[in-house]
A and B are shown apart, each in its own frame.
Chain A
Amino acid sequence: MHINSNVAISDSGFIFNPLTGDSFTTNPIGLQIIEMLKNGLSQQKIITEITTKYLVESSTVEKDLRDYLSMLNSYQLGEYVN
């Protein structure tokens, strides 16, 4: 997924989309995922990063990441690539 370049993201998890005027809040892990997406990491790589750092099964992360990306997409914060 590609995060839209004009989306403003603060360290505290506050997100502003100037295109739609909508504001959002995300939790620390959501923020890390957005950072990783901005840095061009693949979904598989993101899952590996999270399971190395957190106490969680990769199947759980896979489900949660799929859901999170669908929300970023529906809020017009990111777009699926290829």
Chain B
Amino acid sequence: MNKLPYERPFIQKLNLGVMNKFGSKTELEPCTHIDGVPVKKLIEEYGSPCFVISEQKIRNNYKNAVRAFKTRYPKIQFAWSYKTNYLDAVCNIFHQEGSWAEVVSIFEYQKAIHNGVPGDKIIFNGPDKSKEDLAIAISNNSLIHIDHFDELYDLVELVQGRSLKVRVAIRVNMDTGVRPIWDRFGFNYENGQAWNAVTKIMSHPELDLVGLHAHIGTYMLVSSAYAVAANKLCDLMQQVQNRWNQDIQYLDFGGGFASTNTLKGAYLQASDVIPSIDEYAEAITATVLNFGFKQDKLPTIFLETGRALIDDAAYLLGTVVATKRLSDERRATVMDFGVNILFTSFWYDHQISPAQHFSRHSENMTLYGPLCMNIDVVRENVMLPLLNKGDQVVVHKVGAYNMTQWMQFIQMRPKVILIDMNGRHHVIREHESLETMLRYEHVPAHLKTISL
């Protein structure tokens, strides 16, 4: 006799009247393939957990963003925000598509140089640039975005009296109507700090003020904030023109476009509430176009879009380690990945799909990671099919900030796989091992031996 497929026994209390009218079915669709490659095969070959990135998706996202801006404005330049995901393979996809590099530390700067980005196509942002860092950027003719007066004075010391024309911009912070105001980086627009910085720069002929930069926040839910920012940068640009007859060549609007991940605790799914890339593009380009600059004086618009270009291009594959009951009868599922490699589960309710077909039953559960730490919660509440030890899942939209902010804590970091345009897969970052860790440690002679 052929045996029947087994499903574990399951009982659920019916809570009449509290059904979510938006339904919660989506997470129950199995995700068995990524770009045509079976999830099972990927886990078999590369282990669990592992990150999987779709080259196709990155290129499509990038092309779509470029289209949204270029169909509205003649001079557009994207610069890939390294901190979002600085795996070389990922950066080079963006660079192949024409993106420059945007970096916020000398480490990221060196990575961009290593990837072959010409120095004059690197935007150097960030609050921590040493004099040595600045000297390197000067010698490479990079675009230096000054964050504070201490940096500006360091720069002045470096260039004073030399026959140089160092290309600089200032980062401007401002009130765009969105709270909280990001006033921690750059010079404030409203209180005149930005103008003072401009004045100081203009008094040094060795410095060439070529741009103005504003990164107004991240995951911006209203596109109109960019219109406010654009208006203020245009106004500053106009004042510089009036006062010194200096043409600002570009306005850089930083990053901040929302990805389709749903923020923790949000009532509505992100895809129903976030502005589209076209709406952001419209807010920025319409404001700059309508400001009144002469056609030949229009600034180039720079964009440092991060999460919106990469989040949905990456997946985290993982496996159920155990299922248990909490003291209040809630189901708990322990996964082999946690906040150690999925840092963004602190911000997002990541969508999670089973990687195999399931019966129609589902249950509410808390998803924990493998760390022996209370903070290690991947989802506090998620409806998933009856998962068993060994079952595989796919976490969606994990491309931004995870593969840079992940931590080696209790567990090692796993492999990262790229699926190329032809469906071939490549390891683009190896998993860590005990050896990786020991390479950086030194044990003094008197501590080399122990006897227990």
Contacts and interface: CB of A to CB of B under 8 A. Distances in A.
A binds B: yes
Interface of A: 15, 22-30, 33, 50, 53-56, 60-61, 64-65, 67-68, 70-72, 74-75
A55 B3 contact: yes
Contact of B4 (A27, A33, A54): A54
Interface stretch (B10-18, B155-163, B434-442): B10-18
Interface in B1-45: 3-14, 16
A55 B9 contact: no
Contacts of B4: 53-55
A24 B14 contact: yes
A15 B10 CA distance: 12
Contacts, number: 65
Contacts of A71: 11, 329
Given A25-B11, A27-B361, A33-B9, 14 more contacts: A25-B14, A26-B10, A27-B7, A27-B10, A29-B7, A29-B8, A53-B3, A54-B5, A60-B8, A64-B8, A65-B9, A67-B8, A68-B11, A70-B325
21 contacts: A23-B13, A23-B16, A24-B11, A26-B12, A27-B361, A29-B6, A30-B11, A33-B9, A50-B6, A54-B3, A54-B6, A55-B3, A55-B4, A55-B6, A60-B388, A67-B325, A68-B9, A70-B325, A70-B329, A75-B11, A75-B13
Residue of B8, B11, B16 most packed against chain A (CB within 10 A): B11
B245 interface: no
Contacts of A68: 8-11
B11 A26 contact: yes
Nearest to A56: B6
B359 interface: yes
A24 B12 contact: yes
A68 B12 CA distance: 11
Contacts of B325: 67, 70
B3 A25 contact: no
A72 to B, nearest CB: 7
A62 to B, nearest CB: 11
Nearest to A55: B3
Contacts of B9: 26-27, 29-30, 33, 64-65, 68
A55 B16 CA distance: 35
A68 B363 CA distance: 13
A50 B9 CA distance: 11
Contacts of A54: 3-6
Given A53-B4, A54-B3, A54-B5, A74 B329 contact: yes
Nearest to B4: A54
A64 B331 CA distance: 12
B386 to A, nearest CB: 8
Contacts of A67: 8, 325
Contacts of B13: 22-24, 75
Nearest to A53: B4
Nearest to A74: B329
Interface string B110-154: 000000000000000000000000000000000000000000000
Residue of B10, B16, B329 most packed against chain A (CB within 10 A): B10
Nearest to A31: B9
A67 B9 CA distance: 9
A55 B361 CA distance: 19
Nearest to B16: A23
Contact of A23 (B6, B14, B329, B361): B14
Interface string B373-408: 000000000000000100000000000000000000
Contacts of A70: 325, 329
Given A23-B16, A67-B325, A71-B329, A30 B10 contact: yes
Interface string B304-330: 000000000000000000000100010
Interface in B320-355: 325, 329
A65 B8 CA distance: 8
Contacts of A75: 11, 13
A59 to B, nearest CB: 11
A11 to B, nearest CB: 16
A77 to B, nearest CB: 8
Nearest to B324: A67
Interface in B400-424: none
Contacts of B5: 54-55
A75 B439 CA distance: 54
A25 B13 CA distance: 7
A68 B329 CA distance: 11
A26 B11 CA distance: 4
